[in-house]
A and B are shown apart, each in its own frame.
Chain A
């Protein structure tokens, strides 16, 4: 079965640079979520999109932005990168319903040097 695909798998950037992470949800899923997970920490919800519109916002820094496109894939844009942005970034997709279940990708490991 098709899963959530994230790219790139690894990304190395320097401080103050920009980065773009991509997420391709499971076919027919209408909702995408972004999470950030630092070393030894729990996943932190950043932002979500439903039917290409932002639906909920968590602890996403103002330096970050995201969108969901007409084909339902999503991109997380990160600017003015800081050392503290180094983390695993997960994307999850779901089919919105009362018993909604999230399916996660393998993540993008971002290292800011």
Chain B
């Protein structure tokens, strides 16, 4: 039932910018794109949400192209503490699939 596809894992070094792309080819008109971060043995934490174009907050940026069939989470200047699993969820209130976590991306930040 998961509507999204992400890379299984990514490696990066401290201070680098990291971009994680999520594919959602069947995104519906009313669907929002939401990213969550999860550390081991902790609940997922909301990072950022967008509908189209670009969204930026104090933690990350989210880039969404015009066709909305993919989205890219951008983490500027990552640190070791950004090592976590990142999940992309797509859906809206009327879309049951918004509750489902697909296989996230395990980001490993090295010193």
Q: Chain B: residues with CB nearer than 8 A to chain A? A: 30, 32, 34, 36, 38, 41-46, 49, 51, 87, 92-93, 96, 98-104
Contacts and interface: CB of A to CB of B under 8 A. Distances in A.
Contacts of B92: 98-100
A90 B45 CA distance: 12
Contacts, number: 57
A42 interface: yes
Interface stretch (A11-19, A63-71, A101-109): A101-109
B99 A105 contact: no
A58 B42 contact: no
Nearest to B45: A104
Interface residues of A, number: 26
A58 B30 CA distance: 22
B1 to A, nearest CB: 9
Nearest to B42: A106
A74 interface: no
Give the interface centre of B30, B45, B100 by most chain A CB atoms within 10 Å.
B100
Contact of A42 (B30, B34, B42, B102): B102
Contact of A96 (B32, B43, B93, B100): B93
